[in-house]
Amino acid sequence: MVVALTALGIIFLAYGALMAALYPAGGFFLVWVALGAALLVASRVERARFAICAAFVVGAIVVGGLSALIATTAAVTPPAGVDCLLVLGAGLRPDGYPSETLRFRLEAALAYLDENPGTSCIVSGGQGFGEPLTEADAMAEYLEARGLDGARITKEGRSGTTVENVRNSSVLLAPDATVAIVTNDFHLYRTLRIAKKNGLPDAYGLAARTNPLYLPQATLRECAAIVKEALTGNM
């Protein structure tokens, strides 16, 4: 067990270092560092081993169950010809260009819009700290630069959270419009649960891909967000 705990602790620390280098925003990489350090303590301090291992087992069960819900939701595709896509913002680079995560969402939206010319889209996202423009403006520019007719795009530039994305965008839709929400695979389960309570109960989901290197961090962070949203009544 000591060898296994040591190896796992080193893996977690190494992954945390990788995330610090590639995805430092928000500081979530520190969670991996803390988990790795805890495992190394468990490998060396026998008195702490049982408590740390028990906590990891409980955490693994929770994360495993939520990850299964995330994966099964992401595997479902929307029908063709929905009236509107709702593309959620996901941060901009300092130069105003969409982040990697947001580009994946926009590319998924473009693929659907190319195949369904009667579908319009709403791009939703406000101006975050350090961003030179709203995410909605940056998203519209990205889509139009790749050939999408600007007449098919509606911008919602006030939202800063998933709940606000859904609430502020729902009022821009016709009462009987069908809608599919575009977000990354790891984020779709929580988004659709939020949508059901905040004005879009019948929304479909369209999952965009995620960088495989980032997926473990994104999933762990999303599991924490799901628990938080459930406790606060948003989903």
pLDDT the model gives residue 162:
95
CA distance 151 to 148: 9
* pLDDT tens, position by position, 140-191: 999 999 999 999 999 999 999 999 999 999 999 988 999 999 999 999 999 9
pLDDT the model gives residue 234:
85
pLDDT surpassing 90 at residue 89: yes
Task: Judge residue 56's burial from the number of C-beta atoms within 10 Å of its C-beta, 0-12 exposed, 13-18 middle, 19 or more buried.
Answer: middle
Q: Are residues 160 and 70 in the same domain?
A: no
pLDDT the model gives residue 235:
84
Q: What is the CATH number of the domain that holds 137?
A: 3.40.50.620
3-state secondary structure of 206: strand
pLDDT surpassing 90 at residue 108: yes
pLDDT the model gives residue 68:
98
pLDDT band at 127 (very low <50, low <70, confident <90, very high): very high
Mean pLDDT of 16-24: 96
* pLDDT tens, position by position, 66-84: 999 999 999 999 999 999 9
CA distance 194 to 200: 9
Rounded (10°) CA dihedral 228, 130, 90, 22:
-90
DSSP 74-127: HTPPPPTT-SEEEEEP--B-TTSPBPHHHHHHHHHHHHHHHH-TT-EEEEE---
Residue found by looking up tokens 């965009």 in the block: 208
pLDDT band at 1 (very low <50, low <70, confident <90, very high): confident
**Domain-embedded: residue 36:** yes
Please name the amino acid found at residue 218: A
Residue found by looking up tokens 């939206």 in the block: 109
Mean pLDDT of 200-210: 97
Average pLDDT, the chain: 96
Q: How many domains is the chain built from?
A: 2
**Domain-embedded: residue 224:** no
What's the domain range around 133? 84-210
**Domain-embedded: residue 220:** no
pLDDT the model gives residue 125:
97
The residues, any chain, with a CB within 8 Å of residue 6's CB and separated by 6 or more, are: 39, 40, 43
Model pTM?
Answer: 0.91
Mean pLDDT of 36-65: 95
pLDDT the model gives residue 221:
96
Q: Are residues 88 and 197 in the same domain?
A: yes
Q: Are residues 196 and 178 in the same domain?
A: yes
